[in-house]
Structures are given as structure tokens and as C-alpha cells.
Structure 1
Amino acid sequence: MTTAPQQDNEIRLPRVDSPAINPARLNGRVDALDGNRLHGWIWDETRPDQPMTVKLYCDGKLAREIKADQSRIDLRRNGIGDGKHAFSMELDDALVAARARLTVIGVSPTTGTQLELRLPAADELAAEAAIAVPLARFFDKVEVLIALNRRGQLAQKDLSEKLDRIAARLEESHALAEAAKMDAETQSEIARRLGELDVFQLRFDGTLRAFDERLTAIRKEARAPLRQVTVILGFLSGLAAVMSFVTLAVTIWGG
């Protein structure tokens, strides 16, 4: 609450906005003179983020000046910007006694555009108060419902995100289980083939052993000229047996 300099102590006429400046559209009112406190609001619809200046004149002379930057929930509910366009100024007893001679002017700091805010009569204020109380309670309940709805939406979003994460983990676990199952089946197949190869190798070793014994007996019984032929035949037979073993092994592993 400040007092303006002497050169600004008279009510000025509304100034025409410059063509280069977006014209102001002021809207507001004085809500009440409650005891020694004057309440009201004013804003510029073209500049909703800029607080207006409120000047109180008594008999044409500046008595009080204040910024309309206080927050009121009812203004926000009714679409008056973000609700931070209210003002409240304390008056002394002399100003209260001179109620009929008071003039309230709202001024745009950017354009200088002025709007006179009419001070309602006592009967008007009484009628508005009778309506305002139940209406304020109703809007309070609406605010609570809106807050609960927002909380419900946030909770639903959070739950949905958690369900998505759980589903992703289940899919990942299922994929790991499938991979483990396939790995186990592969290991079982390898073990089975290794077992078959071991059995074949044992049988092949027995066959070679019997063949070696027979070849030794033939060598002992054969004449000297035939021994070289027998050795060559034995070598070729052993080579054929080895090739058969390799072919069988490749067939088993490839199958």
C-alpha cells in the first residue's frame, strides 16, 4: 500500500492506446467494503499475466494505490486468468466515512487504459453474500472432486505402467525358460549321440581286435613269399575299417 507522488493526485482521463500496442481489455469490480478493508479484482484479458494497478480516489484526490496481484480461487474457477488478479486495501476511518465520495480506478501499466470499478451498494452486497456462501461451498466440493479425479487418473496411469513392466518381465522369463528348455534338449541329444558313438567304438574296437588276431595267425601260417601280400591286405583292410568308422561318425553327428 503506497501513496502516489503529488503530480499523480488527480483522476486522469482514459488514454488512447498506441496503434503499436495491443489495446487493453480491462474487466473487474469492487466486491465489498468489509469494515475497513476494500476487496475487488481487475485484469486485462489481453495480458492475463500482467497485474493491474488499482488507485483509490477520495473527492478526486489519490488516497491509496495497490497492485491487483493477489490469488483468489473463485477467480480461477470463473476463468479470470490464473486467479492472481485480486486486490485488498486497508482504509482508515475517514475514508470509510467518506464512502459515497470514493472512486476506484483500475489502470493498465502498459497502455494506461483506465476502468472505474463501481462500489456496490450495501443491499447489493448483502444479496451477493447470501448467494456467494452456498455457491462457494459447492465449488469447494467440485474442487475436491476434481482433485480426487486427478489423483485417480495418476494412480491408474501408475498401475498401467506397473502392469506393463510385469508383462515385459513375464515375457522375458518365458523366453529364458524356452531357451533353457531348448538348451537342455540339445544337451540331451548330444549325450545320446555320444553314447551311441561310444557303443559303436567299442564294437569297432572288438572287430579290429579280432581282425588283428586273425591276421597274426595268418602271418604265422603263411609262407614267406605270401607274408608281404598278407601285410598289404591287412593294411588295406585296416584303412577301410578306419574310413568306415569315420563315415559312420560323420553320419551320426550330422543326423
Structure 2
Amino acid sequence: MTTATHQDNEVRLPRIDAPKPDPAKLNGRIDALDGNRLHGWIWDEARPDQPILVKLYCDGKLALEALADQSRIDLRRNGIGDGRHAFSMELDDRLIAARGRLSVVGVSPATGSELELRLPAADELAAEAAIAVPLARFFDKVEVLIALSRRAQLAQKELNEKLDRIAARLEENNAIAEATKAEAEAQSELVRRLGELDVFQLRFDGTLRGFDERLAAIRKEARAPLRQVTVILGFLSALAAAMSFVTLAVTLWGG
């Protein structure tokens, strides 16, 4: 009896390693110790959009943490990313008294790389604080003024647009008012002409009444042979008066 054995061939896929992140390029410094507040900045040139975590140690133990995400106009002007890489820490009296045993370290959240920021001597920090802190405050005020100026420009633009819309509406309203005024004047003129026509009609009716009365009297006084001639003349006079009325009416309406 023959026994056949089959050996499974193991397929080995090539190992694909995950791409390694770019190494961190940390750069920063401590600028000043203004009273109990420690100022500085740090950033990762390889990842300028990612803020760096700053840790303060006293005798090797973590005492404070802060993110380097505060904006400083002097950093932006000096090419330090978008300028949002500053940090500040409020130190208590215990930490101030132990300043010789303090150390500040920046840590990249992406790679874990660390950069220790040198804490200058007290006289060096005091000299830098005398210049850097007022200058930073000055630049902060300048940045606020720039932001206010931009807002003022936007507000002025919106105001100009509103004024243009109001002016357009006023022009439209003026056009409507002028058209209404012209229509009112035309109606007033029409009413005036109708009044004149009514007055003329009243006068014409009076004239016809007088003419009828005179014609009746003439008929009574006239002899029989002249009666027909009188009727014809009366008819022609009435026809002439009617034509005059029509002519006057056409003149009033057409004028």
C-alpha cells in the first residue's frame, strides 16, 4: 500500500513596512521671564501646522505643560510658520525659587522627538525681557490695529453697498413719483376741460331755449305763407348751433 504525502507550499508575501514619518525639525527658544510668566516659542519646521507640547520639569519631575499655539506677529514676520508657535507659562513662587533646577522640553506629538530649550541666566533673561516683552506687546497691538482696519474696510464696503441700494430705490421712487405727478396733472387737465364743456353745454342749452321761445313767438305772429320759411330758418339755425357745439367739443378734447 502506497501512502502519498502532500507538502503544502507556504506562500510568503513580501513585507511592506509602513512609511516612516519625516523626522522632526524642532527649533525654538525661551525669550523672557517676565515676573512669574515664562515666554518662548517652538515649532516643527517639517510640520508647521502641528503645535508642539512644551513641558516644564523641576528636579526631573513634570511641573507644567503648555501648547505652543499662541500667535505672535514677530514670529510670522521672521518666517516662523504662520506665527502661531508661541507659548507662555505662569510659574509660582516655588518654581521661581528653584529656577536653577528647572528645564524646559518641547515634544513633537508626531514623532516624540524632544528639544530642550535653554533657560538663560537671570541677568540675560532680564535684559531680553526689557526689550522683547514690550516689543511683543507692541506688535500685538499692531496686529490688533491691522485686524480692526480690515474690519473697518469690510464695514465701509458693506455701507457703500447699502448706500448704493438706497440710492437706486430713491431713484426708482422718484421716477414713480414723477409718473404719478404727470398722471395727476393729466387728470386735472381733463377735469378742467370737462368743466369747461359743461359750462358751454349749459350756455348752449340756454341759447337753444331762447331760440325756441323766439321761434314760437314768430310762429304766432307770422302769417300763414311765411310759416314754412320760418320753420326752415329755425331748422338751419339749430343745425348751425349743433355744428358749433360739435366743433368746440372736438377742439377741447383734442387740445
Using the size of structure 2 for normalisation, the TM-score is: 0.57
What is the CA–CA distance in structure 1 between the aligned matches of 2:66 and 2:46, rounded to whole Å?
A: 18
1:68 aligns with 2:67: yes
What is the CA–CA distance in structure 1 between the aligned matches of 2:160 and 2:31, rounded to whole Å?
A: 47
What is the CA–CA distance in structure 2 between the aligned matches of 1:37 and 1:103, rounded to whole Å?
A: 14
Question: For residues 1-255 of structure 1, what are the structure 2 equivalents within 5 Å?
Answer: 18=19, 26-32=26-32, 39-44=39-44, 50-55=50-55, 63=62, 66-68=65-67, 71=70, 78=77, 81=82, 83=84, 85-88=86-89, 90=91, 96-99=99-102, 102=103, 104-107=105-108, 109=109, 111-112=110-111, 114-122=113-121, 124-136=124-136, 138-139=138-139, 142=142, 146=146, 149=149, 153=153, 178=178, 182=182, 185-186=185-186, 188-220=188-220, 221=222, 223=224, 238=238, 241-242=241-242, 244-255=244-255
The answer for unaligned runs of 5 or more in structure 2 is 1-17
- SS of equivalent residue, structure 2 residue 118: coil
What is the Cα-based RMSD across aligned positions, in Å?
5.0
Q: Per the alignment, do residues 95 and 23 of structure 1 end up closer, same or farther by CA in structure 2, a change over 3 Å counting?
A: same
Q: CA deviation at 1:252?
A: 0.5
Number of matched residues? 231
Over residues 202-225 of structure 1, what are the superposed CA-to-partner deviations in whole Å (9 max), with x where a residue is unaligned?
432233123312432354446499
Using the size of structure 1 for normalisation, the TM-score is: 0.57
- SS of equivalent residue, structure 1 residue 212: helix
- SS of equivalent residue, structure 2 residue 203: helix
Over residues 228-253 of structure 1, what are the superposed CA-to-partner deviations in whole Å (9 max), with x where a residue is unaligned?
x9768866764664454244223302
The answer for unaligned runs of 5 or more in structure 1 is 1-16
What is the CA–CA distance in structure 1 between the aligned matches of 2:56 and 2:134, rounded to whole Å?
A: 31
What is the CA–CA distance in structure 1 between the aligned matches of 2:41 and 2:157, rounded to whole Å?
A: 38
Give identity over the alignment, percent: 62
Q: 8 Å contact 1:75–1:81 — kept in the other structure?
A: no
Q: What is the letter of the counterpart of residue 189 of structure 2?
A: E
Greater mean deviation of Cα atoms: 76-85 or 189-198: 76-85
- SS of equivalent residue, structure 1 residue 211: helix
Over residues 189-208 of structure 1, what are the superposed CA-to-partner deviations in whole Å (9 max), with x where a residue is unaligned?
33542343244224322331
Q: 8 Å contact 1:58–1:103 — kept in the other structure?
A: no
